Amino acid sequence: MPLRGNTNQEIADAVKALNKMLQRYNTAISGKTLLKKAGRPALTGIRKAAEEIKDTGALMRSAEWINTKSKRSVLAGFNYRKGGSHAHLIEYGWVAKNGNRVEGNPIVKKTFEATKDQILKNLIDVMRQTQATIERQIAR
């Protein structure tokens, strides 16, 4: 039953446009996307700290976003498959062959403590930008 003043085609076009817009916003509001944008200082800090460690450079190159099964979380750390297989030893330390304990260098923990306020500020900014973008597109 058609509505007064509107043709069935106009309604169908409006529904298509609405569905297209909803799909676009669904990807724009992806939790992981927002968190990765806001968390860039953490990943940058981890890479800089890993660069200071005198090794082959594999640890620095392995620093990246780690995929999780969760749709609402991201992890910044070292990918074991890309050269970061010794990251846990550097982070927590180890016992040498002679029995002495080698203290760790908690790169990830230090970076988190140093950047957590900036990440929260960035997250608020990214969310505001996303909201403004959505509102502009809805106003069209």
Identity at 80, one-letter amino acid code: Y
Classify residue 103: in a domain, yes or no.
yes
Whether the Cβ atoms of residue 43 and residue 64 lie closer than 8 Å to each other? yes
Tokens at 54, concatenated: 């005198």
Which residue segment(s) compose the domain that 42 sits in?
A: 31-139
Tokens at 93, concatenated: 């330390």
- Ramachandran area for residue 115 (φ above 0: left; ψ -120 to 50: alpha; else beta): alpha
Classify residue 8: in a domain, yes or no.
no
How many domains, the chain? Answer: 1
Q: Any bridge partners for residue 75, and if so which?
A: 66
| Residue-level pLDDT at 1 | 41
| Residue-level pLDDT at 14 | 66
Alpha-carbon gap, residue 97 to 35, rounded angstroms:
41
Classify residue 80: in a domain, yes or no.
yes
Q: What is the pLDDT along the chain (140 residues), one digit of tens a residue?
A: 444 555 667 667 767 766 776 676 666 567 788 888 888 999 999 999 888 887 778 888 889 988 888 777 888 888 888 888 888 888 889 999 999 998 888 888 899 889 988 988 898 888 888 878 877 877 76
Alpha-carbon gap, residue 28 to 51, rounded angstroms:
33
Classify residue 22: in a domain, yes or no.
no
Classify residue 4: in a domain, yes or no.
no
Helix (H) or strand (E) holding 63: strand 63-66
| Residue-level pLDDT at 95 | 92
| Residue-level pLDDT at 29 | 65
